[in-house]
Structure 1
Amino acid sequence: MTDNGLRFTKGHGTENDFVLVPDLDGALDLSAEQVRLLADRRSGVGGDGVIRVVPTDLADEAFVRSQGGRARWFMDYRNADGSAAEMCGNGTRVFAAYLRREGLESADEFEIATRAGVKTIRFEGHLIAVNLGDWKVADPDAALAGGYDALVKVAHHDPMPGLSLDLGNPHTVVALPDTADLAGLDLTRAPEVKPLPPQGTNVEFVRPLGPGHIAMRVHERGVGETRSCGTGAAAAALATRWWAGETEDNTVWRVDVPGGTLRVRALPGQQVELAGPAVLVADGVAHLG
């Protein structure tokens, strides 16, 4: 931040949009209120989240600084409400596109630091792929017993069963019954999830479209409904695969979201990869008052 304002870049991944703020010397103390102002779509720049671009060695958290031996840059991701989040799948791709454009990374493959650990980025033509790392079903005993471990309520619908997954951040995936219309769901308010994880949860609503192909809408904690969610797309594909039975024939999934299309690939060792586009659309200076 200077007297002349705060430099930023606006970008999106399948219309999940972010305000990126460079902090190359680690001197910026970005407050929750400043994040809310930047993310505000009427009085600020507007975005689903804010990403501070900072050297890993200069990160605030000791855990993140410990990743500095592998990753030069830390994606300090904040939700639109100002709260810090573990990471963001679409955000990692936009972050990587920014690093490459600015000459901060030049290789086709490199690693970045997040609050959910180091993530490997790979440029693949017009797509950017990221290994999101380990994932797991949050309560496998309950899930195996009934196929679900949570109940999710949205307006005008009875509670629906959901499966909780941990991808470094929390997700609850709902396979919609035939009586529910994906496009018609009212996601203007946060779905009610019982039991609610201590840190809250993103909620994905899924409609199978064919073999290896699903459509999804998502309500993100601290944000609301977004046009896309990268880790949410991965969670939706993994949950659908888990329900169908995990085989070598269903490792790659197409996930259609309101903002575009993503590819999810189940990797060996209980890991998952997300691939999709990333676009940097504008640069500017924000004056936060």
Structure 2
Amino acid sequence: MADRLAYTKGHGTENDFVLVPDLDGALGLSAARAARLADRRAGIGGDGVIRVVPTELADEPAVREQAGAARWFMDYRNADGSAAEMCGNGTRVFAEYLRREGLEDADAFTIATRAGAKAVRRDGDHWSVELGPWRLADAPTAERDGFDALVHVGGGDPFSALSVDLGNPHTVVALPEEVELADLDLLEAPSVRPEPPHGTNVELVRPVGPGHVVMRVHERGVGETRSCGTGACAAAIATSFWAGSLDTGSTWLVDVPGGRLTVRLLPDHGVELAGPAVLVADGSVPTALLPD
């Protein structure tokens, strides 16, 4: 193994990632090594780690099956080292890296994720990615008025929420008018009932105008982040559902602490996410400092 591990640091609306090239598939990426790279004090620091590996060399058979459609696999890990299905902001940063490195030279191509192949498209200095199909994890009943979960954020009464699956799990909280986003303490993970079997990202959402919401997010395995791409899509879908209109072609602006994302609803429960992707630094770290 090489004495040093190369990396690139990037972010999408300040949701930041450590990208590690593994172009021959020989590196691998253990949970402990990913967690150290993501550590903001003992490592490089990031909300997640992305290994760049040819799809045909992926560890999981279900991912290798995507090799005919996608040359490169986005092997995404949360900050705690746990493997995740995919990441909306991460897909755009991954696409920007592939294009900068000459691994893809087109303005539109497909990448492989654990949640299936995702089509990405460059549009100026932004990238768009088709993330659908989505589904409501548990169809709400009339008696529940469009909600299927309860979320505790610190003390006080729980908030009503809706579960949305975008290949990874989300629980979107509809904040009542008297509760301000800035007043909520997200240092501890929100408690969700019923408890999702594989955890969930929790989005706290407040409409601010037609087709426009503001959001904070607590990501599973990470904590509060400055942005979450799939979470922005879940927020737009849930708000559209509560408004009684999941119109194909409708566009939502989603403001997060790290910037602004655009979400567009597509036919057949599809959804498209658009926003910036920035590569900010390249470097290397001694492999002796990393766990096996």
- SS at structure 1 position matched to 2:2: coil
Q: How many residues align?
A: 288
1:2 corresponds to: 2
For 1:52 and 1:144, locate their aligned partners in 2 and report how far apart those are by CA, in whole Å.
Answer: 45
Unpaired segments ≥5 residues, structure 2: none
Consecutive unaligned residues in structure 1, runs of 5 or more = none
Retained in 1: the 8 A contact 2:162–2:172? yes
Q: Which amino acid aligns with 2:2?
A: T
**What CA distance in whole angstroms lies between the structure 1 residues aligned with 2:282 and 2:49?**
14
Relative to 1, partners in 2 of residues 1:157 and 1:145: Cα closer, same or farther, differing over 3 Å? closer
Shift of 1:180: 1.0
Report the alpha carbon displacement of residue 142 of structure 1 after superposing the two structures with TM.
3.4
Alpha-carbon distance change, 250 to 180 in structure 1, aligned in 2, over 3 angstroms? farther
Q: What residue in structure 1 maps to residue 201 of structure 2?
A: 202
Q: Please report how far the alpha carbon of residue 156 of structure 1 lies from its aligned counterpart in structure 2 after TM superposition.
A: 3.3
Look up the SS of the partner of 2:182 in the other structure.
coil
What letter matches 1:67 in structure 2? Answer: Q
Structure 2 counterpart of 1:187: 186
2: CA distance, partners of 1:115 / 1:144: 35
Provide the C-alpha distance between the structure 1 equivalents of 2:227 and 2:143, rounded to a whole number of angstroms.
29
Equivalent positions of 1:87-106 (< 5 A) are 87-106=86-105
Question: 1:250 & 1:239 partners in 2: Cα distance?
Answer: 16
1:148-187 Cα offsets, whole Å, 9 max, x none, are 0000001133101100000000000001011211011100
1:107 counterpart residue number? 106
2:194 and 2:217 map into 1 onto residues whose CA distance is: 18
Structure 2 counterpart of 1:67 = 66
The answer to whether the Cα contact below 8 Å between 1:143 and 1:163 also exists between their aligned partners in 2 is no
Note the C-alpha offset of 1:143.
6.9
Amino acid at match of 2:59: D
CA contact (8 A) 2:172 2:204 kept: yes
Match of 2:116 in 1: 117
Q: Secondary structure at the match of 1:140?
A: coil
Which residue does 2:83 correspond to in 1? 84
1:144 to partner: Cα distance: 7.2
2: distance between equivalents of 1:199 and 1:140? 18
**3-state SS, counterpart of residue 32 of structure 2:** helix
Matched letter for residue 27 of structure 2: L
C-alpha separation between the residues in 1 aligned to 2:106 and 2:156?
49
TM-score, with length taken from structure 2:
0.96
How far does the alpha carbon of each residue in 1:56-112 deviate from its partner, in whole angstroms, 9 at most, with x for none? 000000000000000000000000000000000000000000000000001111000
1:141: how far off?
4.3
Percent of residue pairs bearing the same amino acid type: 69
Per-residue Cα deviation, 1:185-242 (whole angstroms, up to 9, x for no partner): 1000000000111110000000100000000000000000000000000000100000
| CA-CA distance at 1:29 after TM superposition | 2.2
TM superposition score normalised by structure 1:
0.97
- Are 2:277 and 1:278 equivalent residues in the alignment? yes
Please say which of residues 5-14 and 151-160 is displaced more in the overlay.
151-160
C-alpha contact (below 8 Å) 2:151/2:158 kept by paired residues: yes
After TM superposition, the runs of 4+ consecutive aligned structure 1 residues lying more than 4 A away are: none
Distance in 1, Cα, partners of 2:245 & 2:60:
37
